[in-house]
Amino acid sequence: MNEATRFPPGALPGDTADPGRALFALVARLFPICRSITGNGVRETLAILSEHVDIAVREVPTGTQVFDWTVPKEWTVRGAFLRTANGRTVVDFADSNLHLMNYSEPVLRRLSLEELRPHLHTLPDQPDLIPYRTSYYSRDWGFCMTHRDYLALPDEEYEVFIDTELADGALTYGEVFLPGETDREVLFSAHICHPSLANDNCSGLAVLALLAQTLARRRNRFGYRFLFAPGTIGALCWLAANEEATRRIDHGLVVSCIGDGGGPVYKRSRRGDAVIDRAVDAVRCEGRRVATVDFSPFGYDERQFCSPGFNLPVGLLQRSAFGSFPQYHTSADNLDLVQPQHLASSFRMILDIVEVLEGDWLPLNLSPKGEPQLGRRGLYSATGGHKVTSDVTMGYLWVLNLADGAHTLLDIARRSGLPFRDIAEAAARLKAGGLLADAGPSA
């Protein structure tokens, strides 16, 4: 690949200091594409992401059984519109790919307004927005429009034109694997099936593409696996083909709705106390702690990875939680909702989580009887009597007190309330000073 073309001119590929502009440019490029759970929109999206990181593209044929599901027919859309009897177009797929209900079957008919109404979808409480609707697993068709335009429809005959095709083909997903120094793995996943919805989930695709590119340039303890797959059926396809690989996954995150300024919000894994659940609690985003909620079997693909037959340690990381912000699954989830600075801070938050996973280890205090004398080792202020103890000193004291072979650095960070990075730095200095031994990596 040509290094210079991975990100737009002027943006450094893999620039972790100021990634916002490059991330937003990638989101903007992905936004217009009409994606679904199958079809060329997914392939086009993967081709763009492949300019940034090497992606293995997988194709799963129509009719393939994946657990209790079957890969559906491939959907192709060429155009769709709704016209009045005098030829005035009232809805056009060319104006917004949200106008067509995703997976609509082909239609060429003339219908009265009364016959048409059951196939028109609006948001009465948000009359100026177009809703996002799908019909993946039942044959149907429909148009989505603003409720204001719906109320203005004249009572006459309409020409319905939907140029789509449902035929045998394949479901497509992308996968990246970056080997680590051990055979243990971290899984990152973002759904790739939504059409023009910027936060849900062009933002997740862009952030994980840059994360994969960044980690590919480093030496890592863990292997990192990135999955860009259609929601539900795509994750199930990967799980069905990779049951053996799931046994090597120690940590995982599903990433979605990561480009706005809300939250952040984290939904714990089904286990509830996995290392990833604790690691997220140790990071900050734009100065804020991550709010955590308990696992529930509703949401994105964390519910597939956390299904009882797999029970993987995978949580869901978002800025504003799905369904909680007014733009969710509407035409207002556009490029005005996501902002470069929020994309950048989300990227750094996830990179900080990676640093926790990579940097966690089990310290053992080699001088556990009373506090060791830090001053003669250059680790303590030569002047005593201060009213307030510095965070640096508190980091040393917390590490020494809890380094009993039963608490990892992550445990110590959470117990102390100090940032993981500060605890890790304190532990490194204590180890260099001969006061700590490494009792092994974290679990």
Looking up residue 411, the CATH number of its domain turns out to be 1.10.10.10
Contact 352, 283 (CB under 8 A): yes
Say whether both 405 and 341 belong to one domain: no
Residue 412 sits in the same domain as residue 310: no
Find tokens 């700590």 and name the residue.
436
Give yes or no: residues 199 and 161 share one domain. no
225 and 270 housed in the same domain: yes
Domain harbouring 323, CATH code: 3.40.630.10
Q: To 10 degrees, the CA torsion angle through 71, 164, 206, 289?
A: -70
Q: What would the two tokens of residue 256 be?
A: 């979605």
Is 342 assigned a ligand-binding role in the annotation? no
Same domain, residue pair 194 and 321: yes
**Residue 268 shares a structural domain with residue 372:** no
Per-residue confidence (pLDDT) for residue 1, from 0 to 100: 25
Residue at 32: amino acid letter: P
According to the annotation, is 194 in a ligand binding site? yes
Q: 416 and 345, same structural domain?
A: no
Whether 186 and 244 map to the same domain: the answer is yes
Picking from 19, 6, 7, the residue whose alpha carbon sits closest to that of residue 339 is 19
Strand partners, 186: 224, 251
Position 24, amino acid: F
Strands (E), 157-198: 157-167, 170-178, 185-191
- What's the number of CA atoms in the CB half-sphere (13 Å) around residue 431? 15
The angle formed by the CA atoms of residues 413, 417 and 418, to the nearest 5 degrees, is 65
Residue 392, pLDDT score: 79
**Residue found under tokens 């009213």:** 387
- Give the domain-ending residue among 167, 193, 226: 167
CB 206 within 8 A of CB 11: no
Among candidate residues 125, 142, 167, the one where a domain is terminated:
167
334 and 257 together in one domain:
yes
> What domain range includes position 206?
3-71+170-358
Residues 187 and 252 in one domain: yes
- The CATH number of the domain holding residue 120 is 3.50.30.90
Strand pairing report for 143-144 and 120-121? parallel
Backbone angles phi, psi at 69, to 5 degrees: -115, 160
From 335, 358, 381, the end of a domain falls on 358
Task: Label residues 362-394 b or e (16+ Cβ within 10 Å = b).
Answer: bbbbeeeeeebebeeeebbeeeeeeeeeeebbb
91 and 42 in a common domain: no
When divided into structural domains, the chain yields a total of 3
- The per-residue pLDDT for 344 is 97
pLDDT tens track, the chain, 443 positions: 222 222 332 333 444 557 999 999 999 999 999 999 999 999 999 999 999 999 999 999 999 999 999 999 999 999 999 999 999 999 999 999 999 999 999 999 999 999 999 999 999 999 999 999 999 999 999 999 999 999 999 999 999 999 999 999 999 999 999 999 999 999 999 999 999 999 999 999 999 999 999 999 999 999 999 999 999 999 999 999 999 999 999 999 999 999 999 999 999 999 999 999 999 998 989 889 999 999 999 999 999 999 999 999 999 999 999 999 999 999 999 999 999 999 999 999 999 999 999 999 999 999 999 988 888 877 864 434 333 346 778 899 999 999 999 999 999 999 998 889 889 999 999 999 999 999 876 65
Distance in angstroms (rounded) separating the CA atoms of residues 74 and 400: 59
User: Is 179 found in the same domain as 33?
Assistant: yes
Which regions of 32-97 does DSSP assign to beta strands (E)?
56-61, 65-66, 69-70, 74-84, 89-92
> In sequence order, what are the residues at sequence separation of 6 or more whose Cβ sits closer than 8 angstroms to the Cβ of residue 252?
186, 187, 188, 189, 269, 276, 305, 312, 313, 314, 315
Interatomic CA distance for residues 243 and 240, integer angstroms? 6
CB-side exposure of 357: number of CA atoms within 13 Å? Answer: 27
